[in-house]
Structure 1
C-alpha cells in the first residue's frame, strides 16, 4: 500500500478525494487583507484545533515546530468556528466547510496542507442493499474521476 493507506488489512478502503486546508480567521483579523497565507504568516497566532480538524495542525507543526500556540477545543467544528468568530484564535479547516458570516477563509500555500478522504468497510462483513449501493456509487465516482490509488 502507498504511504497514505495505513489502514489495517481487515479493511477494504477506497480513496474518494483530497481536501486542502484553509486558514479560518475572524473578519476583523489583520491577515484578512491578504489573498493567501503561509505558515510564516501564522507565527505567534493561537491556532484552535480539535479531533475533527483533519490533522492539518499536526502537518503545520511538523514544518513550523514551536512557532504557533495551539489550543485544543473539543466538540463540533461549529464550536471552533464560534471561537474564531469571537477572536479567540484562528483555525486550519477543510476548504469544503461552510463558514458563518463572522469568519472568512484564506488559502494556505506554504506549506500546502492536505488530507485524503477514504471510504472504509470491514472486509468480509455482509452489507444490506443500501450500504452496498452506497459503496458502489462511491467507488464508481472514484474510478471515473480520480482513479483508485489504493
Structure 2
C-alpha cells in the first residue's frame, strides 16, 4: 500500500500513518484516495463528509482542514478517480483494514487469556510490549 499506491497518488498522507492499526486512515483513503477526491469539494464540505471517518481526534476540525490544504499542494500523480490505478488501490485498502481489525481481535483474545498470569503482567510493563508480543514470548 505505501510503496505502490500512497507514494504515487498522495504521498503527503503517509505522515498520518502512525501505526499498523490506523483503521481511520484506511477508511479515509477509501473515501478520499487522492488529492482530487478531496478538492472536488469545498473545504467545509470535505470536513463535513470526512468528520465521522477519522474517529475521535483532538482538534479534528483543524486536522481535516490541514488534510484539505495538503491535498491542494500535493505532488501526487494526477490520476482519474475511476481509473485502474485507483481501482486497484481501493482493492488493497480493505485488505489492510481487515488485517488491522483481525489484529485487534487477536489482541483482545490474548488479553483475556493471559491477563491473570504474572509473567504476562511483567512483560506488559515493558515499553512497546503489547498483548500479541507478550503472547508470542510466553508461547516460545
What TM-score, normalized by structure 2, do the two folds share?
0.23
Higher relative contact order by CA 8 Å / sep ≥ 6: 1 or 2? 1
What TM-score, normalized by structure 1, do the two folds share?
0.22
Structure ranking higher in helix proportion: 2
